[in-house]
């Protein structure tokens, strides 16, 4: 039997960040994962550290747009008809939580996390020697028509009171910043956001830092988590069980495999997503992550090539891949930017773990001493991993939390 202070279940960006924050506060930590650091949900995303994302992704309220979603006519969202009995109740709850008065509460709750997200990353990047992965170029939201461009400007203006840096670009401005894009009506450039050229590599760099500072990583099955008679928590490892006073559930979309058997009921859902890499066309270069707002996909320059990322797919977490959105968006993306050959044998698939208010579950498990939750970061696991880890570690070690953690409590629903 091995002993430690804390077991962290999950080695994605959220789990690794929590392990580092606890380690920095003097706790001995063992991290458990079935694979390795950054190889699951943290591997496949747009690579944005979204400092400007004050407003959450909400369920649309426009009736005409809802009809199009219902008919699977828009590439930014797709659902499986056979999945509706399972995902329908969650979608209804998501719709209810997207009411204006509830969104206002969500904005207030997420703001402290968003505002500290980049600074927490920058500190870890410096400590991990991963500066080459981080780019302070912001991201660009493109609009194809004057109508959608005006709406995009209106959305950007709502952020004025949050002290963000935003440029409004006309067609010529876009061409100056991205000369290889096809003409568009205009764009909004969110300058405070940073991006990374390889999200999986960033998670691995953080994990390497954790190991260099004396942390331990063990390949193991998180579902073997058990509370012993003395109240401590244990997990099966290849050389026997690991025993700790505290355990952190940071398993992203698989977190329900722990909290459900323990009797916790939460409206936990998934937004699946896909990505595919392409070589840039001869002589072409993409300088920023760019979102085609009218068509619901994003192109991001990555170490491997240009990554095309899809919107949200509503389906069971482990259902077979159905990369319809990549197939729909690829020809549109090729008309926007000269993509060359595909560099992946098939689109990558992942699942974003979501609560309907688009806030994470972060803090103590209400009925189990020593059990802590850190999951459900929706579209912002990469963005919020380090700041969530800091807040969790402050709670676990008795420090005064830098912000009120009550909006993220597990029993808020």
- Domain spanning 1-58+98-132+196-268+355-413 has what CATH number? 3.50.50.60
Backbone angles phi, psi at 338, to 5 degrees: -75, 85
Q: Exposed, middle or buried: residue 341 (CB in 10 Å: 0-12, 13-18, 19+)?
A: exposed
Closest CA to 116 of 395, 388, 398: 388
- Report in angstroms the alpha-carbon separations of 411 from 179, 231, 361, 367: 50, 21, 9, 10
**Other beta carbons within 10 Å of 198:** 19
Q: Rounded to whole angstroms, how far apart are CA atoms 154 and 142? A: 14
Q: Rounded to whole angstroms, how far apart are CA atoms 33 and 9? A: 6
Q: What is the pLDDT along the chain (413 residues), one digit of tens a residue?
A: 799 999 999 999 999 999 999 999 999 999 999 998 988 888 988 999 999 999 999 998 888 888 888 888 888 899 888 888 888 899 999 999 999 999 999 999 999 999 999 999 999 999 999 999 999 999 999 999 999 999 999 999 999 999 999 999 999 999 999 999 999 999 999 999 999 999 999 999 999 999 999 999 999 999 999 999 999 999 999 888 999 999 999 999 999 999 999 999 999 999 999 999 999 999 999 999 999 999 999 999 999 999 999 999 999 999 999 989 999 999 999 999 999 999 999 999 999 999 999 999 999 999 999 999 999 999 999 999 999 999 999 999 999 999 999 999 999 99
Q: Rounded to whole angstroms, how far apart are CA atoms 152 and 50? A: 17
Q: Rounded to whole angstroms, how far apart are CA atoms 269 and 253? A: 8
Q: Where are the domains of the chain?
A: 1-58+98-132+196-268+355-413
């Amino acid at each position: 039997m091995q002993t430690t202070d804390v077991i962290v279940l999950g080695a994605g960006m959220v789990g690794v960040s929590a392990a580092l924050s606890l380690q920095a506060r003097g706790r001995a930590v063992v991290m458990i994962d079935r694979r390795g650091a950054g190889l699951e949900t943290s591997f496949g995303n747009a690579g944005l550290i979204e400092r400007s994302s004050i407003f959450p992704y909400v369920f649309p309220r426009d009736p005409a747009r809802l009809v199009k979603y219902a008919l699977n006519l828009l590439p930014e969202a797709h659902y499986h008809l056979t999945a509706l009995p399972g995902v329908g109740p969650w979608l209804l709850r998501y719709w209810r939580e997207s009411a204006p008065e509830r969104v206002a509460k969500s904005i207030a709750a997420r703001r402290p996390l968003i505002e500290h997200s980049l600074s927490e990353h920058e500190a870890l990047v410096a400590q991990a020697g991963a500066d080459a992965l981080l780019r302070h170029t912001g991201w660009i939201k493109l609009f194809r028509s004057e109508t959608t461009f005006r709406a995009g400007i209106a959305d950007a203006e709502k952020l004025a009171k949050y002290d963000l840096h935003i440029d409004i670009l006309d067609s010529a401005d876009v061409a100056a910043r991205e000369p290889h894009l096809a003409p568009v009506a205009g764009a909004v450039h969110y300058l405070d956001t940073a991006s990374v050229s390889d999200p999986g590599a960033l998670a691995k760099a953080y994990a390497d830092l954790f190991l260099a500072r004396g942390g331990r990583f063990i390949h193991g099955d998180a579902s073997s988590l058990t509370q012993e008679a003395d109240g401590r928590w244990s997990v099966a490892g290849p050389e026997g069980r690991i025993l700790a006073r505290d355990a952190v559930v940071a398993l992203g979309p698989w977190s329900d495999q722990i909290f459900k058997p323990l009797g916790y009921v939460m409206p936990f859902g998934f937004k699946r997503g896909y990505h595919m890499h392409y070589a840039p066309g001869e002589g072409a270069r993409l300088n920023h992550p760019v979102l085609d707002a009218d068509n619901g996909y994003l192109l991001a320059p990555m170490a491997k090539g240009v990554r095309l990322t899809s919107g949200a797919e509503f389906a069971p977490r482990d259902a077979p891949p159905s990369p319809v959105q990549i197939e729909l968006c690829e020809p549109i993306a090729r008309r926007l930017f000269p993509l060359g050959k595909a560099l992946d044998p098939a689109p990558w698939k992942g699942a974003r773990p979501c609560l309907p208010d688009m806030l994470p579950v972060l803090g103590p498990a209400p009925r189990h001493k020593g059990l802590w939750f850190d999951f459900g970061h929706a579209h912002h696991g990469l963005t919020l991993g380090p700041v969530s880890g800091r807040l969790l570690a402050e709670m676990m070690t008795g420090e005064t939390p830098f912000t009120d953690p009550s909006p993220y409590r597990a029993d808020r629903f």
